[in-house]
Amino acid sequence: MRAMRDSAKWVMLTLSIAFVGWLVFDWVQSRQSSAATGPNPVVLTVNRQEIRLVGWSQLLQGRMDLARSQADRPLTDEEVRQIREVAWETMISQVLLEQELRRLSIEISDAEIQEAFRTSPPPDLLNHPAFQTDGRFDYEKYRQFFANPVVDGLLLLQIESYYRNALPRQKLAERIQASVYVSDDDVWRAYRDRQQTARVRFLTIDPSQEVDELDVVITSGEVEAYYREHRDEFERPATAIVNIVSLSAFPSAADTAATAARADSLRQLIVSGEAEFEELARSESADAATAPGGGSLGRFARGDLAGPVGVEAFTLPVGEVSDPILSPRGVHLLRVDARDGDTVTASHILLPVGLSDDTEDELFDRLDRLEGVALDDGLMAAADSLGIQMRGAVTLTEAANFVPGAGALGVGIDWAFDPTTVIGDLSQFFENASGYHMLELTEVRPVGTFDLLQVEPSIRQLLFQEKRKEAARELAAEALAANEDATLSEIGQRIGWPEQVSQPFTRLDFVPGLGRDTEAVGIAFGLPMGYLADPTDAGETIVLLEVLERSEPSLEAFEAAKEGMRAQLTLRLQQQQLNQWLQGLRDRADVRDLRDRLVTQNNSPFGTS
């Protein structure tokens, strides 16, 4: 029982940090509320409510520490940036929610806390091993533990703090979502869309094949009119032009071989009886989800576990430990504990493939040499000296996250658009999942609107496609009129348009030749049997179609599934409504980011760069 209490106490300490972290910065900022600058400046105002540096730092440091503990390795520069941005937006959302709770005077009584404690344990306790029986939460263990008179009083206060912060938010969400109502008609339409099928025959009229491009004329007046009517579509975001040199941080073949050799040595310990599989899984496996349970993957069906591990699970003899298996996650040792037809119970040990000391030393040596030459002679000379390709004139978009050729590297984009970065500057090396990247800023272009000359070619192409498609529709209409007594197949044979017959499909499917959610797919469920549809848009083409078969959903099956589907639809609509409400709250808020006051922002994870 003491071990259980200690474990639960640790869990709840973590839980309380997660849910009442906002209280920390709220309390700290109130301690020095008179100073706008100095050691604890205001870094954010939300509807004039001030948040100060120490509170923001406390919140962010907690997020960083949690991420580091979960990753069990140093975080990359890009991971730090993403954690910081998520924490920042979370802090704003927390402040806005607190303001709404105060405005609406939403409070929680002691009786409500006691009822929630009895019936709805905190999420972390639901998953805590101390309260599990056969993989399920055991309410009896939960009640027995907290019925013990020696249970830690601090733990109870932490749980109470969790409910006092979680329950008002729950009440607010229930108010927002109360108007969501899903009728029988709504459920029926959703059921019908998934269950009703159609099978059609259709002729494809391809504009690129049937309409000569010389017959399509686009005038300058049409281009200018389109530009005027769609001017908002031609807004140009701020962009930066950079040169980039990247060095991969992926493990070498030698690193993979070394990890496989280590896995094989563990296998020999198990096979020889010197160590238990479960013992090594707990101490050596990098799979945090299965290691505490001795590597157990549980029971799964054929196809549930993708890749080579899933294949080996259905070929390895029961009770044997596999040779090392390489997958995208690393190197596995697999043991099949039981197999029954197309289901398997198995366990594994996962060893991630990382950089060896030699590979890492070689990488950092190249980074040092590259940086030294780049600082003296520029990035291109540095890349040439090491035989590395430099990607030149790469366009970055402000507020984006993706860098062509480098992947997710928002930290590099932030650097490029930082007001203190000037043309010709070299960045430090930024690390992300793919490696290390150095940027050289060559140009910055502010927000603006593309002029007509810049976008005229794309407008002409768009109008050309639209006119060509309309001409194809007219050809199809003329063919129908000229062959009104012919069948669809006869029309196709006479004119040479290809005929296809679809497989049965639902309204939600992608249909080869008809597309997804196109006019043609909709017509397939509305056209009476035995009729030819008018020329219909199928995305890139025009089609003539007829319905060959159409199934009708079973009313009995619908009645059996109705309430389950209603619950799913209600939950989805409630979440949509809540998200829309939160976004509206955020859009209306007066949020002012004052992190540029931080003198050390360029060298600190707490800044904006």
Question: Where a domain ends, among 430, 446, 462?
Answer: 446
What is the domain-level CATH number for residue 311?
A: 3.10.50.40
DSSP per-residue string spanning 348-398: EEEE-----HHHHHHHHHHHHHHHHHHHHH-HHHHHHHHT-PEEEEEEEET
- pLDDT confidence bin for 9, thresholds 50/70/90: very low
Gyration radius from the chain CA atoms: 32
* Claim to verify: residue 326 and residue 462 sit in the same structural domain: no
- Strand, helix or coil at 87? helix
The boundaries of the domain holding residue 499 are: 197-234+453-550
Q: Return the H-helix or E-strand segment holding 91.
A: helix 77-103
Phi then psi dihedrals of residue 301, to 5 deg: -95, 165
* Claim to verify: residue 390 and residue 244 sit in the same structural domain: yes
Q: Residue 40 and residue 55: Cα distance in Å, rounded?
A: 9
| Span 426-450, pLDDT tens digits | 999 999 988 999 999 999 999 999 9
Q: Are 182 and 566 in contact (CB under 8 A)?
A: yes
pLDDT of 8 > 80? The answer is: no
Question: Where a domain ends, among 420, 446, 472?
Answer: 446
Least confident of 439-453, 473-487, 589-603: 589-603
Residue 558 included in any domain = no
Comparison of pLDDT for 19 and 148, the residue scoring more: 148
Q: Are 546 and 533 in contact (CB under 8 A)?
A: yes
What is the domain-level CATH number for residue 507?
A: 3.10.50
pLDDT of 301 > 90? The answer is: no
Q: How many domains does the structure of the chain reveal?
A: 4
* Claim to verify: residue 22 and residue 163 sit in the same structural domain: yes
pTM beyond 0.75:
no
* Claim to verify: residue 391 and residue 518 sit in the same structural domain: no
Site of tokens 């507020």:
399
Q: Return the H-helix or E-strand segment holding 132.
A: strand 132-133
* Angle at CA of residue 212, ends 210 and 218, nearest 5°: 125
* Claim to verify: residue 317 and residue 262 sit in the same structural domain: yes
* Claim to verify: residue 29 and residue 171 sit in the same structural domain: yes
- What is the pLDDT, as a whole number, of residue 188? 96
Residue 580 included in any domain = no
Of 285, 317, 314, 286, the closest CA to residue 299 belongs to 314
Q: In the chain, what percentage of residues exceed pLDDT 90?
A: 68
Give the C-alpha distances (Å, rounded to integers) separating 35 from 52, 59, 244. 10, 20, 42
pLDDT of 310 > 50? The answer is: yes
| Span 498-540, pLDDT tens digits | 999 999 999 999 999 999 999 999 999 999 998 999 999 999 9
Residue 576 included in any domain = no
pLDDT of 579 > 70? The answer is: yes
Residue 161 included in any domain = yes
- What is the pLDDT, as a whole number, of residue 38? 64
Residue 304 included in any domain = yes
Residue 520 included in any domain = yes
Residue 188 included in any domain = no
* Claim to verify: residue 297 and residue 428 sit in the same structural domain: no
* Claim to verify: residue 78 and residue 216 sit in the same structural domain: no
Quickly count: other Cβ atoms within 10 Å of residue 535's Cβ: 24
| Span 188-206, pLDDT tens digits | 999 999 999 999 999 999 9
Give the C-alpha distances (Å, rounded to integers) separating 313 from 278, 285, 338, 552. 17, 18, 10, 41
- What is the pLDDT, as a whole number, of residue 360? 85
- What is the pLDDT, as a whole number, of residue 558? 95
Residue 556 included in any domain = no
Question: Where a domain ends, among 316, 351, 386?
Answer: 351
Comparison of pLDDT for 118 and 182, the residue scoring more: 182
The predicted model gives 17-38 an average pLDDT of 42
Which residues, at least 6 apart from 10, have a Cβ–Cβ distance to it below 8 Å? Answer: none
- pLDDT confidence bin for 2, thresholds 50/70/90: very low
* Claim to verify: residue 229 and residue 242 sit in the same structural domain: no
Least confident of 367-376, 494-503, 589-598: 589-598
Q: What is the 3-state secondary structure (H, E, C) of 429-484?
A: CEEECCEEEEEEEEEEECCEECCHHHHHHHHHHHHHHHHHHHHHHHHHHHHHHHCC
Q: Are 55 and 605 in contact (CB under 8 A)?
A: no
* Claim to verify: residue 44 and residue 168 sit in the same structural domain: yes
Give the C-alpha distances (Å, rounded to integers) separating 540 from 170, 200, 258, 476. 47, 18, 52, 15
* Claim to verify: residue 344 and residue 259 sit in the same structural domain: yes
* Claim to verify: residue 16 and residue 135 sit in the same structural domain: yes
Q: Residue 180 and residue 577: Cα distance in Å, rounded?
A: 8
- What is the pLDDT, as a whole number, of residue 328? 86
Q: Residue 198 and residue 551: Cα distance in Å, rounded?
A: 6
